[in-house]
Structure 1
Amino acid sequence: MPGRRTRRARAPRGPRRGARAPRPPRRPRSSPRSLITLYPVSMTRAIGGLVLIEIVFNWPGIGFTLVQAVLSRDFPVVQFVFFLVAAFVIVANFGVDVIYGVIDPRVSVGDD
């Protein structure tokens, strides 16, 4: 075709002058705040697992006491165990909030 120029394939060149080696991909950094945030949640799951472990291995403990109280319809004991778990969650969340202020000074409670 007249008027059209064809492209020639270029010969492969060596590394360009001034070119850098490719960087390895960045790994995400684990944030201590996210690990601390999961602490109360993981501890409540551990308490739930404690009930199962105590029942399976017939160990006396708070989980075993809870199951025995439910089976015998001893409601004050059931209420107390749930109160203990709720108090633990509240204290753990408060502790996480305090630790946030120590780790990251930008997180604070006070006037704006």
Structure 2
Amino acid sequence: MSWLYSAAISVFLLGLAPGVLTQMLLRGKYRRGLPERFGGVAPWEGPAAPIWLHAVSVGEVMAAAPLARLLASRHPDVPLIASTTTETGRAVAEQRVAAARFVSFPLDFRWAAERAVA
């Protein structure tokens, strides 16, 4: 069944591709974090395994910021990776969340997610 889901997402993304590519070329949108969306997240090299906190966009970043502060106060030795889906969410996260790394969340493909968490 997962192959059917992946196939449906692929068809959907192919339909969006012309508009996204046009926005990338003309306005520079969607370029930031593009490798990360395909699972190109650099492996974590720190001594402690990080906690990955994900918020889709600005509203969820605002809701997750207190959790990030609580995690940092209770577990100062554990780094935090913050991911978002939108560019504006990432910009707000970079201002409001004390994370060791900020990344764009991978596309919803098994291979991209596996590469991102490897």
Quickly name the TM-score band, shorter chain normalised: under 0.3
Please, what TM-score do these two structures have when normalized by structure 2? 0.23
Q: Calculate the TM-score normalised by the size of structure 1.
A: 0.24
Highest RCO, 1 vs 2 (Cα 8 Å, sep ≥ 6): 2
Higher strand proportion, which one? 2
Return the index of the structure with the highest Cα Rg.
1
